[in-house]
Amino acid sequence: MVKSTKPVPDSMTPAPFRVTARRQDLADTFTIELEAADSPRGFAFRPGQFNMLYHFGVGEVPISISGDAGAGKLIHTIRDVGAVTHGLSTLKKGDMVGVRGPFGSAWPVDAAEGSDVVIVAGGIGLAPLRPAIQHVLDNRDRYGRFVILYGARSPKDVLYLPELQSWRGRLDTYVDVTVDHAESGWAGNVGVVTKLIERANFDATHAVAMLCGPEIMMRFTVAELTARGMDRGDIHVSMERNMKCAVGHCGHCQFGPKFVCKDGPVFPYGEIEALLKARGV
Amino acid sequence: MTNPAKPKSSKPDAFVMDANRLDALIGALASSGHAVMGPRVADGAVILGPVAGAADLPLGVTDRQEPGRYRLKTVKKDPAYFDFAVGPHTWKKFLFPPREKLWSAERAAKGFAVREDGIDAARRDKLAFVGVRACELAAIAAQDRVLTGGEYRSETYALRREQTFIVAVNCRTSAATCFCASMNTGPGVGAGHDLALTELGGGKDHRFLVEVGSTRGEKVLMALNAKPAKPKDVAAARAAVAQAAKGQRKMPKSAPTVLAGATDSPRWADIAQRCLNCASCTQVCPTCFCNTVTDTTTLDGSGAERWRHWDSCFTLDFSYIHGGAIRGDGAHRYRQWMTHKLSHWFEQFGTSGCVGCGRCITWCPVGIDITLEARGFVKDAKGKRKG
């Protein structure tokens, strides 16, 4: 065991960050931009990692990092579903947030170089994938075909709409979006996101897939992708479990022998297939 | 291990001291600034708490443990200090307190400032444990790996752990619920102690063999004027420990691999019919580390605190994510506990999460016996292979 001779912050102590911008994305979803309050020293993270965000007096939640705003600024897109996320939704520019992180494994953006990249996201699952999408677009010549498939509940629930439109406008990127329930004015697809896989053009034997969304969506997506010939080891999924510490000490996020906080949240599907198929793991 | 290894020298490793010198040992630890913790009797059980001297120790107390049952008995003839097996408390309650304030925060003009009260408190906690059994040393080592062995460590645990002086005791009796020998963790003390005692003789001949496990242990012992041990004392101590290993319960060797492949076994539903989901096993377990945090505020909203407290995988809340609990069924929760303890722990931390102390068997209100349940799974696996 490591000696603790000098005072170092405990792994449970949050660092102060300040909100530099806030945007309401959807009725229940918002994005905040954060900057370290002590020193604007930047914030190094890998696409797919997450932070623990603390709202004063209310509590802490694990939230994926959804982007790098440049100049050391950090982006989090959050859905207002519980006490802490609701607290965070009330933050304004200049307010303070506690941050611990970054934690966990990352999307295999380096290993995917030279291959086709297939992104499949459902709902707010697009938020943890955004840094990976940004990375591929920023280094577009290092990758093969780039496919982004996104499903939302309704046209009103389509996250990052301006970005989706801008990605779709590129000739080097294939973007397809579907909704479960259409409304008037929607000219796009209706149905589940797995239906989009069939007509997307990529070489399944030389591709890396990155999936984030409800577990049921990921299971059906894996079935489609493997039916097309993709290897289970080339499919990466981001998992969600209850988390209190993010450092492998609280035990809440255990998923069979894995800790979602430190072995995940991003796993090669082949590693967790049996766990995902069993109930109550 | 934190305890600095003893340098090799020609000095003897084993000493003998009269039983009445136990008082001097506790006194020496107290006078060097330690809060001395040891076994004592309270509410019909041997618990762990502050001890001011040997008079506080449970002299002559023995115990009788069975699945779901624990009773103390006092013997008059040749009373011994440590002839009982482990009770409901574990040393975990000192190193990794059931409730611990991690930090507090004060609202400031522009945001808030965090003060690490937990670390300050841990730094002041200089502890000495008297009467740590071999299985408990193994449990402490297991928690060391969880809380300090990875990329991140719990600073409060690390601080307390390093400052703790450990006087271990070799067991010369076992409870009927003990199975340390089959887990290779006892009943003899191996490593992780500063001093190790073995009780010898009785009456006028009542004495302790004292073995040195670290440099700081050696320093304390020197102040006690113990005499070098004779070979027959060492032999008597080893024989007593060997005797304690006999007649214990046994955990089947293949339990880790068998359980790893038993996810869909119907046995989980069978155990769940008996299990009350009371979480008692996880509260008495010396290695269970699962915890949760609670955030609080002062009434005027100017201050906030974060507390960490023990949690249990047997509660519904434990696996809750928006939409519901992942392990909604008692069978899922028992499976999580047992497979984690006996199997997944190897993959996570390189050892078993079970040290064979038997507490979960004794303190289960319905007497579920983890060794018996494990044997059931092993039997099923053998049947399957044959079939």
Same domain, B221 and B267: no
Going by their DSSP bridges, the two strands B320-321 and B165-169 should be labelled as: unpaired
Q: What are phi and psi of B334, to 5 degrees?
A: -65, -40
Residues B360 and B378 placed together within one structural domain of the fold: yes
Paired tokens of A76: 């989090």
- pLDDT for the residue numbered B2: 45
Minimum Cα–Cα distance from B142: chain A residue: A1
Domain boundary among B224, B245, B266: B245
Residue B3 lies in a domain: no
Which residues span the domain enclosing B177?
14-245
Two tokens, residue B241: 């420990």
What domains are there in chain A, each with its CATH number?
Answer: 15-103 (2.40.30.10), 116-277 (3.40.50.80)
Q: What is the pLDDT of residues B132-152, one digit of tens each?
A: 999 999 999 999 999 999 999
Q: Is residue B9 part of a domain?
A: no
Strands A146-152 and A174-179: parallel
Task: With beta carbons under 8 A apart, name residues in chain A contacting B326.
Answer: 241-242, 280-281
Q: Is residue B53 part of a domain?
A: yes
Sequence-separated (6 or more) residues with CB below 8 Å from residue A2: B148, B153, B158
Same domain, B261 and B343: yes
Structural domain contains residue B61: yes
Give the pLDDT of residue A4.
39
Full pLDDT tens readout for chain A, 281 residues: 334 333 446 789 999 999 999 999 999 999 999 999 876 667 889 999 999 999 999 999 999 999 987 767 899 999 999 999 999 999 999 999 999 999 999 999 999 999 999 999 999 999 999 999 999 999 999 999 999 999 999 999 999 999 999 999 999 999 999 999 999 999 999 999 999 999 999 999 999 999 999 999 999 999 999 999 999 999 999 999 999 999 999 999 999 999 999 999 999 999 999 999 898 99
Q: Answer whether residue B3 shows pLDDT above 70.
A: no
Mark whether B200 and B334 lie in a shared domain: no
Mean pLDDT of B21-26: 96
User: Is B7 a member of any domain?
Assistant: no
Average pLDDT over residues B6-31: 85
The span from the first CA to the last CA of chain A, in angstroms, equals 30
B4 touches chain A (CB under 8 A): no
**Residue B141 placed within a domain:** yes
Minimum-distance CB partner of B156 among A10, A18, A245: A10
Q: Is residue B117 part of a domain?
A: yes
| B200 shares its domain with B261 | no
Same domain as B310, residue B202: no
In angstroms, rounded to a whole number, what is the distance separating the alpha carbons of residues A17 and B256? 44
Q: Do B297 and A3 touch (CB under 8 A)?
A: no
For residue B329, give how far its alpha carbon lies from the nearest alpha carbon of chain A (Å).
7
Residues 14-33 of A with CB under 8 A from B: 14, 16, 18
- Beta carbon pairs, A and B, within 8 Å: 155
Same-domain pairing of B233 and B321: no
Q: Quick one: B160 and B43 in the same domain?
A: yes
What is the complex's ipTM, to 2 decimals? Answer: 0.92
Using CB atoms within 10 Å of the CB of residue B33, give its burial: 0 to 12 exposed, 13 to 18 middle, 19+ buried. Answer: exposed
What pLDDT, on the 0 to 100 scale, is given for residue A2?
37
Residue B181 has a pLDDT of 98
Q: What is the pLDDT of residue A6?
A: 37
Produce one character per residue of A165-192: b if its CB has 16 or more CB atoms within 10 Å, e if not.
eebeeeeebbbbbbbeeeeeeeeebeeb
Of B111, B114, B336, the CB nearest to A13: B114
- Enumerate the residues of chain B whose CB falls inside 8 A of the CB of residue A214: none
From chain B, the residues in CB contact with A95 under 8 A are 111
Mean per-residue pLDDT for B35-53?
Answer: 98
Q: Do A245 and B344 touch (CB under 8 A)?
A: no
Which tokens is B207 given? 């004495």
| Same domain assignment for residues B276 and B210 | no
Domain count, chain B: 2
The secondary structure of residue A11, as a DSSP letter, is: T
**Rounded to an integer, what distance in angstroms lies between the CA atom of residue B44 and that of residue B254?**
37
The last residue of one of the domains, among B217, B245, B273, is: B245
**Of chain A residues 71-100, which have a CB less than 8 A from chain B?**
81-82, 94-96, 98
The answer to whether residues B32 and B135 belong to one domain is yes
Spell out a b/e string for A223-262, using b for 16 or more CB atoms within 10 Å of the CB, else e.
ebbbebebbeebbbbbbbbbbbbbbbbbbbbbbbbbbbbb
Average pLDDT over residues B127-135: 98
Whether residues B195 and B305 fall in one domain: no
How far, in Å, CA of A212 to CA of A48, rounded?
10
- Could you tell me if residue B1 is inside a domain? no
Last residue of a domain, one of B196, B215, B245: B245
Q: Is B319 on the interface with A (CB under 8 A)?
A: yes
Query: What is the distance, to the nearest Å, from the Cα of residue B240 to the centroid of all Cα atoms in its chain?
Result: 22
- Identify whether residues B281 and B204 lie together within a single domain: no
